Amino acid sequence: MRRNADELNKMRKAGKVVAEMHEVTRAAIRPGVTTMALNNLAADVIARRGARSNFLNYGRPPFPAVICASPNDMIVHGIPGDYVLQDGDIISIDCGAIVEGYHGDAAYTAGVGEISATAKRLLEVTERSMYAGIDQLTIGNRLHEVGRAVQQVAEAAGFSVVRDFVGHAIGTAMHESPQVPNYWPGTPGPVLKEGMVFAVEPMVNVGTYDWYERDDHWSIMTQDGKLSAHFEHTIAVTDNGPEIFTIA
């Protein structure tokens, strides 16, 4: 779906709130902090900005928090709680906000204290794969070039791209059609037009892309217990190229 100038402005505002949630949580990440403490900082931003959370009560069972916090071998959808961040962990924070009915959605992975060389490389490669995908969001290009670009970067580094969780169009709902795979799905997908908005969100694993779900029905773990990282932005297709909404 194409969004008009007024809608894009609302999405810009939602994106700014999400960027601020990233800023305050990132600044608080250190050994000894719980994932619930990070959630509460993000909730404060939502309240302060008069926004609403698109994560809280999402899905079944209803998601109980405003951020997902996924450490180490957790790929996505971690429920914040009493988990205490340890020196050497990596932690993926995914969050969103609604402003005037329009959604923003973005994620990052950060190191806690001193992290391994492999973890550092995973974070760098995953973020770079996201930007390679974002660069494909130009008028006239085909949507699935995003996934092709992401996959090239991740696999060139010897990592794998998660298949079963993907990016998405976004607007008056967080998850709209079409989906945005982080790999080449075998077809070029729709032609990109001005005013389309997508969340590009590669999840990249050190080992296999296979996964399992924990008994809480949310936490998605790597099958082999190796590390996973996740970066995401909300981006509009504009006649000046891709415009990232979820940055400060």
Of 197, 206, 217, 179, the closest CA to residue 78 belongs to: 217
CB of 32 to Mg ion, least distance (A): 26
Stretch that binds Mg ion, among 17-25, 30-38, 132-140, 229-237 (CB under 5 A): 229-237
Q: Does 203 bind Mg ion (CB under 5 A)?
A: no
CB of 1 to Mg ion, least distance (A): 16
Residue showing tokens 């990596």? 90
11 binds Mg ion (CB under 5 A): no
| Site for Mg ion contains 20 (CB under 5 A) | no
The distance of closest approach from Cβ of residue 103 to Mg ion in the complex, given in angstroms and rounded to an integer, is 9
Q: At what angle do helices 117-134 and 145-156 cross, to 10 degrees?
A: 160
Q: Which two tokens stand for residue 155?
A: 């696999």
- CB neighbours of 10 closer than 8 A, spacing ≥ 6? 99, 100, 101, 102
Does residue 112 contact residue 89 with C-beta atoms inside 8 Å?
yes
* 66 is a contact residue toward Mg ion (CB under 5 A): no
Question: What is the rounded distance in angstroms from the CA atom of residue 170 to the CA atom of residue 3?
Answer: 10
Restricting to residues 98-127, name those near Mg ion by CB under 5 A.
105, 107
Nearer to Mg ion, 30 or 217 (CB): 217
198: contact with Mg ion by CB under 5 A: no
Nearest approach in angstroms of CB 94 to Mg ion is 4
Tell me the two tokens of residue 219: 């936490």
In the complex with Mg ion, the residue whose CB is nearer, 57 or 118, is 57
CA distance 79 to 35: 8
Tell me the window of 3-11, 24-32, 139-147, 192-200 that interacts with Mg ion (CB under 5 A): 192-200
No. of helices (H) and no. of strands (E), the chain: 4, 14
Interface residue with Mg ion among 98, 199, 203, 221 (CB under 5 A) is 199
CB of 74 to Mg ion, least distance (A): 14
**Residue 51 contacts residue 96 (beta carbons within 8 Å):** no
CA 121 to chain centre: 18
Q: Which of 7, 94, 127, 145 forms a contact with Mg ion (CB under 5 A)? A: 94
Report the interface residues with Mg ion, using CB under 5 A. 94, 105, 107, 199, 201, 232
